[in-house]
Amino acid sequence: MGLNNQKILVLIIFGTIYSIFMWTFAPGVKDDHLHISNINDKFYANYLDTFRQQHYNMLSNLINKANKALKNDSVYSVTLKPQLAPSNDPHDYMSLARYFWPDPNKPDGLPYMRKDGYSNPEIETIKDYSLLRKLFDDVENLGFAYYFTRNDSYVEKAVYRIKEWFINPKTRMNPNLNYASFIKGQDLGRRTGIIDMRPIYRMLQSIPLMRSSRKWDHSVEKKFKIWLSKYYFWLEKTSIGIDEKESTNNHGTYYDVQAIYLLSYLGREEEARKYSYEALINRVNEGILPTGQQPHETKRPTSWYYSTFNLQALFLLAERSQYFGFDGWNYVGPEGQSIRKAVDYLLSFALSNGKGWPFKNINGFEMNNFVKLLELAFVIWPDDKYLEALVILRPKAKLEQALEYKDTEWEDNYLCIWSLMTNRQLWTCLK
């Protein structure tokens, strides 16, 4: 490859600005209007092309989803579930532990027992989890749709959803996860249920985009912040919260991500800054081996999935640490561990279709999530090898999307890449 890294980045940024410009001012313009001279690198040309396409797709998908969110009149509330948590308080959130099944040796099956890696479909009978995730998605999409269209209806709906979930006396959720990842037959939920709240950052980062709208309700936001402060207190002080923070695998990493975004949103910037780099250092040192293997994930039966899943959280931590002035992307631990090594470790197996992966792995080698990481990796470390790998792996990811992951969102990843390259205002990715 003839292009040096800096030049590649400059070209990416140029390409992005160009495609945004074209979209804004000349929506009908076709590809042949884009002539950037001096590019004879086929991988890079392909990259730019894909990228431009992603911008179009991102906008149309985003507006579609926001319109769906706008039109949806169902109630989103924890109070709808057919079965109460042991507290008997309908406002307590409850979700069922994913990998737990009735004990065949007990007449009533209670308490349920663990079969790691095998999801029990019974978890779908209690909707709190899926509604919570829907709330995060909807508010996020509404916020970003407002950002791109300046249509106030989106903001009005987002405010409505926030009020409904967090504030209205009839429908609100209590600010705790005491019964998340609940095992039937026990008294309390488990620390691992805290991961239910994981994508809250997606909602939190879209809220500031809506504040300029005349439909944004500052008194609602004030009450929402009180809710979040109480929830953060719960997260920080209860034994469920403390145990989750201390877990060494993806649960601990995602706890940190959640905590940093909450602190930041609550205006506790100094705490967020300190938390972000301490967490980054700790998770890289403890969660990655000098080879790049993530040992706490590779011991799970779905070892490939959890390796990419934890890496996503590490990317979020790295991005946050960089935002607060610490270069977590390139931090190297005392034994040579780093996030980049974790990427490269997985990359070699991705390219061999998982051949030689030395761990138990019952769910195959799903590429879609890894490819998203790789697209970001190229932005962070503009190395030709990532670009070449993307040419090979992207079609596999696309095929997976077509076959099984219908909801997978590339437009999302586009926003994520874009925000990494620009001002990070739109950072949103890695669901």
Ligand X SMILES: *[C@@H]1O[C@H](CO)[C@@H](O)[C@H](O)[C@H]1NC(C)=O
- Considering the complex, state which of residue 137 and residue 375 has its C-beta at the smaller distance from ligand X: 137
- Considering the complex, state which of residue 5 and residue 72 has its C-beta at the smaller distance from ligand X: 72
The minimum distance between CB 69 and ligand X, in angstroms, equals 8
The minimum distance between CB 368 and ligand X, in angstroms, equals 22
The minimum distance between CB 413 and ligand X, in angstroms, equals 23
The whole-angstrom separation of Cα 402 and Cα 389 is 20
- Considering the complex, state which of residue 131 and residue 210 has its C-beta at the smaller distance from ligand X: 131
The whole-angstrom separation of Cα 200 and Cα 266 is 13
The whole-angstrom separation of Cα 181 and Cα 11 is 46
The minimum distance between CB 19 and ligand X, in angstroms, equals 23
- Considering the complex, state which of residue 131 and residue 371 has its C-beta at the smaller distance from ligand X: 131
Asked if residue 111 has a cis previous peptide bond (ω within 30° of 0), the answer is: yes
- Considering the complex, state which of residue 76 and residue 378 has its C-beta at the smaller distance from ligand X: 76
- Considering the complex, state which of residue 12 and residue 131 has its C-beta at the smaller distance from ligand X: 131
- Considering the complex, state which of residue 68 and residue 360 has its C-beta at the smaller distance from ligand X: 68
The minimum distance between CB 407 and ligand X, in angstroms, equals 12
- Considering the complex, state which of residue 65 and residue 190 has its C-beta at the smaller distance from ligand X: 65
Given a contact cutoff of 8 angstroms between Cβ atoms, the answer to whether 419 and 62 are in contact is: no
Secondary structure, 3-state, the chain: CCCCHHHHHHHHHHHHHHHHHHHHHCCCCCHHHCCCCCCCCHHHHHHHHHHHHHHHHHHHHHHHHHHHHHHCCCCCCHHHCCCCCCCCCCCCCEEECCCEECCCCCCCCCCCEECCCCCCHHHHHCCHHHHHHHHHHHHHHHHHHHHHHCCHHHHHHHHHHHHHHHHCCCCCCCCCCCEEEECCCCCCCCHHHHHHHCCHHHHHHHHHHHCCCCCCCHHHHHHHHHHHHHHHHHHHHCHHHHHHHHCCCHHHHHHHHHHHHHHHHCCCHHHHHHHHHHHHHHHHHHHCCCCCCCHHHHCCCEHHHHHHHHHHHHHHHHHHHHHCCCCHHHCCCCCCCCHHHHHHHHHHHHHCCCCCCCCCECCCCCCHHHHHHHHHHHHHCCCHHHHHHHHHHHHHHHHHHHHCCCCCCHHHHHHHHHHHHCCCCCCCCCC
The minimum distance between CB 213 and ligand X, in angstroms, equals 12
The minimum distance between CB 317 and ligand X, in angstroms, equals 30
Positions touching ligand X (CB under 6 A) are 67-68, 70, 72, 74, 131, 134, 151, 153
- Considering the complex, state which of residue 87 and residue 151 has its C-beta at the smaller distance from ligand X: 151
The minimum distance between CB 190 and ligand X, in angstroms, equals 25
- Considering the complex, state which of residue 131 and residue 228 has its C-beta at the smaller distance from ligand X: 131
The minimum distance between CB 137 and ligand X, in angstroms, equals 9
Given a contact cutoff of 8 angstroms between Cβ atoms, the answer to whether 346 and 370 are in contact is: yes
- Let me know if 202 is exposed, middle or buried by CB neighbors in 10 A (0-12, 13-18, 19+): buried
The minimum distance between CB 209 and ligand X, in angstroms, equals 16
The minimum distance between CB 160 and ligand X, in angstroms, equals 13
- Considering the complex, state which of residue 68 and residue 237 has its C-beta at the smaller distance from ligand X: 68
| The two structure tokens encoding residue 391 | 């040419």
